[in-house]
Amino acid sequence: MKLTINQIAELAQVSKGTVSKVLNGHRGISDSTRERILKLVKQLDYHPDASARALALQKTGVLGFLIPHEAATSLTGNYWTSMLSGTSQRAAQAGYNLLVLTPPHEGDLQGALNHILKRSTVDGLIIGSELLDRDSLSELVLRKVPFVLLGRNPDFDHFSVDIDSVQGTTLMIRHMAAQGYRKIGALLGPAHYPYSRERLDAYQRTLSEAQLTWTASAHSDYRSDSIRRSLLSLLESHPDMDALFLASGGDFLLDTLRILRERGIELPRFGLGVFDDYPFMELLSPAITAIRQPLFEAGEEAVTLLLQLIQKTLPASRLVTLPTTLVSRESCGEVTRER
C-alpha cells in the first residue's frame, strides 16, 4: 500500500489538515505537533502524491520543452540538445520536472501542443519557435499559458530568449574581411526561418560597411541533398568567390567540407567561417573558424524567464539576447599569413 497523508495523520493523532499545513509550511501550528509530524514524515519518507497535489493546486510542477521537430532528427544534433541541457539543468535546480515534448511524427506539432495544453499537463512551456505560427501563439497568450520562446519570432512579440544572429554574423563577416577575403558568399538556412533572414541582412550590411560590394547567397534546408544542390549552384554561378560564410552548423559543415574537397578547393586559400562551434572543429585540418553560440545558457535563461512568468513576477525585459563569440582558427586566413 502506498503511504498517504491520512496514515501520517492517524499515526500523529491529528487531522490530515494539520499535516498538510505542516508540510506546506503554514503557520499556526504548535511547535510540539509540528515536530512530531515532521519526524514521522522523515522517518517514513513520506512524499505527497504528485497527481493529487497537482489536482488540488492546479499546478503540476512540470515544465514542457516543445521541440518543433521529431526526436529522431532534432535530438541527434547539437542545437536542441544543448538548449535542452541548460533547460533541464536549471529546471531541476528550481525543483521543476522537465517534459520533453517532441512531435510523434514530423509535422504533428500543433496536435502535440494542443494535447498537452488542454489537459494542463504543464505549468509552462518553452517553445522552439521556428515552426509555430502566429495564431497558435496568440491562442496561448489568450489562454494565459505561461510560455517563453527560444529564438525570437519576428512577427510575434513575446517573452523570448534569443542568440544574437546579427552580432554573430557581423563578427564573422568583419573577421573574414579583415583576413583579406574580398568575395565572400553565404550559404543560409531555410528562407522562412527568422534567423536566416537576420543573418542574410547582417551579412549584406556588414559587407557594405566594409566597402565590399561583391555579394552571393543561397538558401538551403537541412537535408544533405539540398545543401549539396545549393552549394554547388552557388559555386558554379560565382567561380570567383574566395570565401564562404556558412550561416548554420551541423550537417551544413559536414556536407560543405565534403563538397569543397571533391572540387579541390583548398582552405584557407578559400576562406570558411561557420555559425556554430563544435569541439571537433579544432581537430580538422585546417581547423574551422566558427561563431560560438551560448546554447546551454540560452536554455537556462529561458527557464529563468519562464519561472518568473509563472510566479507572475514581471521579468526585467521581454527579450533576453545572448551574444556570441568568435573562435578564430585556421580555416579563415589567420594562420596562412604566419606561415
Of 14, 38, 54, 232, the one binding its own copies by CB under 8 A:
54
Which residue, 61 or 194, has its beta carbon nearer to DNA? 61
Which residue, 17 or 323, has its beta carbon nearer to DNA? 17
Contacts for 210 with CB less than 8 Å, ≥ 6 apart: 173, 174, 177
Query: Where does this chain touch its own copies (CB under 8 A) — which range of 53-61, 127-135, 198-206, 235-243?
Result: 53-61
The answer to whether residue 294 forms part of the interface with its own copies (CB under 8 A) is: no
Q: In this structure, is the dihedral angle defined by the CA atoms of residues 254, 260, 263 and 266, taken in order, positive or negative?
A: negative
Which residue, 97 or 304, has its beta carbon nearer to its own copies? 97
CA–CA separation, 43 and 92 (whole Å):
25
Which residue, 106 or 209, has its beta carbon nearer to its own copies? 106
Which residue, 104 or 323, has its beta carbon nearer to its own copies? 104
HEC string for 183-249: CEEEEECCCCCHHHHHHHHHHHHHHHHCCCCCCEEEECCCCHHHHHHHHHHHHHHCCCCCEEEECCC
C-alpha cell at 80: 536542441
Angle at 54 between CA 314 and CA 316, to 5 degrees: 10
* Distance in Å, CB of 310 to DNA, minimum: 15
Which residue, 49 or 133, has its beta carbon nearer to DNA? 49
Binding site for DNA (CB under 7 A): 2, 4-6, 13-18, 20-21, 23-24, 26-30, 32-34, 48-49, 52-53, 55-58
Of 13, 26, 35, 52, the one binding its own copies by CB under 8 A:
52
The answer to whether residue 163 forms part of the interface with its own copies (CB under 8 A) is: no
The answer to whether residue 128 forms part of the interface with its own copies (CB under 8 A) is: no
Of 141, 178, 191, 254, the one binding its own copies by CB under 8 A:
254
Which residue, 98 or 161, has its beta carbon nearer to its own copies? 98
The answer to whether residue 169 forms part of the interface with its own copies (CB under 8 A) is: no
Residue 158 identity: H
Instruction: Give the three-state DSSP class for 160.
Output: strand
Question: How crowded is residue 266: how many other Cβ atoms within 10 Å of its Cβ?
Answer: 10
By a kind-dependent CB cut-off of 5 to 8 A, residue 224 interacts, out of its own copies, DNA, none, with none
Query: 194, 134 in Cβ contact below 8 A?
Result: no
Of 4, 7, 33, 89, the one binding its own copies by CB under 8 A:
89
Instruction: Give the three-state DSSP class for 326.
Output: strand
CA–CA separation, 331 and 171 (whole Å):
16
* Distance in Å, CB of 260 to its own copies, minimum: 11
Query: 87, 302 in Cβ contact below 8 A?
Result: yes
Cα end-to-end distance, the chain, whole Å: 75
By a kind-dependent CB cut-off of 5 to 8 A, residue 85 interacts, out of DNA, its own copies, none, with its own copies
Site residues for its own copies per CB under 8 A:
2-3, 45-55, 60, 62, 70-72, 74-76, 81-82, 84-89, 92-93, 97-105, 112, 114-116, 118-121, 251, 254, 257-258, 278-280, 282-285, 296
